[in-house]
Amino acid sequence: MYTQDQLKAMVAEAAKDEVLKAMAPGGILGVGTGSTANLFIDALAPHKDYFSGVISSSQASTERLRKHGFNVLDSNAVNAVPMYVDGADEIDPQGHMLKGGGGALTREKIVAQLAQSFICICDASKQVDVMGKFPLPVEVIPMAQAQVTRELEKLGGRVTLRQVKDTNQTFVTDNQAWILDVAGLSITDPVQLESDLNQIPGVICNGLFARRKANILLIGEAQGVRRQIFN
Ligand code: 5RP
């Protein structure tokens, strides 16, 4: 039986192989954020010269990539990338994802939008029939926090302003904004909910990746890594 960390390392390794096989040398790769993405960055590090550059979805990933010697580019300088590799907090049978546990949802969505193919890497615990057990992160402009909280409560959510772990300090994103974590939603129509939440004034972005879902899932299971393609 593998531990969760071993499963994450296995999918990170599989993603490295997938990227090196699918991409021509000299291309630009999109890189995600979180513990699984970190393992992917580490697995890819010996091959850094295969890429002309990478674009990153957070300051934390940028720092890790630079330490390994990757050429991290400004996403404004890139029109498209062939692939984006990132983890997820939940993924449903259609490949819709719930993300943002690490607070990088907005930049993740920006980089994912530039990608022709989204490769989701995660361990089996992330696969669900209906998303919403993991609280849905919603990034907000601080002055709209109370107002957005009321709107999210009307949808049946229990809303918490994210704090820095083990402190009573408000978590501040790379975009100098705040995160509302919304528990208690049963997300049966993620495409619609993603759009609806984006209509609330003050919402910067929400953690549903349904309109731009995963194309390929590499999932770590007891039997090893399983590869699934979504249409
Ligand atoms: C960060 C994310 C991560 O992809 C998600 O939280 C999964 O993280 P981990 O690989 O640590 O389980 O969306 O904002």
Q: State the average pLDDT over residues 56-62.
A: 98
Has residue 107 got a pLDDT over 90?
A: yes
Cα of 99 from ligand 1 centre, angstroms: 6
Query: Residue 213 corresponds to which tokens in the numbers above?
Result: 């879902």
Determine whether the shortest distance from the Cβ of 30 to ligand 1 is under 6 A. Answer: no
* pLDDT in the model for residue 229: 98
Can you give the CATH number for the domain in which 186 is found? Answer: 3.30.70.260
Whether 124 and 100 map to the same domain: the answer is yes
Task: Quote the CA–CA distance of 21 and 131 in Å, as a whole number.
Answer: 31
* pLDDT in the model for residue 120: 98
Whether 106 and 198 map to the same domain: the answer is no
Collapsed DSSP state (helix, strand, coil) of residue 213: coil
8 A C-beta contact, residue 10 and residue 220:
yes
Cα of 155 from ligand 1 centre, angstroms: 25
8 A C-beta contact, residue 54 and residue 31:
yes
Whether 11 and 120 map to the same domain: the answer is yes
Has residue 52 got a pLDDT over 90?
A: yes
Q: How far is CA 129 from the centre of its chain?
A: 19
Whether 120 and 173 map to the same domain: the answer is no
Whether 175 and 221 map to the same domain: the answer is no
In degrees and rounded to multiples of 5, residue 131 shows phi and psi of -80, 160
Whether 123 and 142 map to the same domain: the answer is no
Cα of 35 from ligand 1 centre, angstroms: 7
* pLDDT in the model for residue 56: 98
Whether 147 and 115 map to the same domain: the answer is no
Has residue 218 got a pLDDT over 90?
A: yes
Determine whether the shortest distance from the Cβ of 135 to ligand 1 is under 6 A. Answer: no
Mutating to test ligand 1, I would choose from 4, 61, 99 the residue with most ligand atoms within 8 A of its C-beta, which is 99
Tokens 């969505």, residue located: 109
Closest residue by CA, ligand 1 atom 8: 34
Model confidence at 1, in pLDDT bands (50, 70, 90)?
confident
Can you give the CATH number for the domain in which 23 is found? Answer: 3.40.50.1360
Q: What are 147-182's pLDDT values in tens digits?
A: 999 999 999 999 999 999 999 999 999 999 999 999
Determine whether the shortest distance from the Cβ of 137 to ligand 1 is under 6 A. Answer: no
Q: Provide the number of structural domains found in the chain.
A: 2
Long-range contacts of 184-189 (CB under 8 A, 24+ apart): 184/132, 184/156, 184/157, 184/158, 185/132, 185/136, 185/155, 185/156, 185/157, 186/130, 186/132, 187/98, 187/130, 187/131, 187/132, 187/136, 188/130
Percent of the chain predicted with pLDDT > 70: 100
Whether 103 and 164 map to the same domain: the answer is no
Question: Residue 32 is part of which domain span?
Answer: 4-128+211-229
User: What is the position in ligand 1's atom list of the atom closest to the CA of 99?
Assistant: 13
Whether 83 and 62 map to the same domain: the answer is yes
Determine whether the shortest distance from the Cβ of 194 to ligand 1 is under 6 A. Answer: no
